[in-house]
Amino acid sequence: MALVSVIGGYLPAMSPVFVSDLGQRRKHVLHLNSLFKVPHILTSDRLVHEFLNIDGLHIITVESLVNKLPNDVSCVPTPNLGHQKEPGDAAILMLTLKRKGSGSKEQSD
């Protein structure tokens, strides 16, 4: 129940997989941080390093949330349905990568 109250009311925005070029990755992360006005970034302990220790990010790990649960609260789903969404509510915002020079130009003879 505590986890629901922490996450309830937020609109998830799934980011594409980070690129291996660290300069481009840094640029992408800083752009998202600016676009969403310093969002809460939810990730795992295993993936925190992917954010390159960039200052100003508000990173929260799933493990830290689970560790803050009271001892009498389990991670097992409960019958509490939490916030009820309306049909017109947004469910998720999916970010995509813009490809440059993808070779999609057709050549004519």
Give the pTM.
0.60
pLDDT value of position 52: 92
Name the 3-class secondary structure at 65: helix
> Residue 13 forms beta bridges with which residues?
93
32-78: per-residue pLDDT in tens? 899 888 888 988 999 999 999 999 999 999 899 888 877 766 666 65
pLDDT score at 16: 81
Q: What is the pLDDT of residues 79-104, one digit of tens each?
A: 666 667 777 877 766 677 666 655 44
CA 52 to chain centre: 15
What HEC string does 1-60 produce?
Answer: CHHHHHHCCCCCEECCCCCCCHHHHHHHHHHHHHHCCCCEEEECHHHHHHHCCCCCCEEE
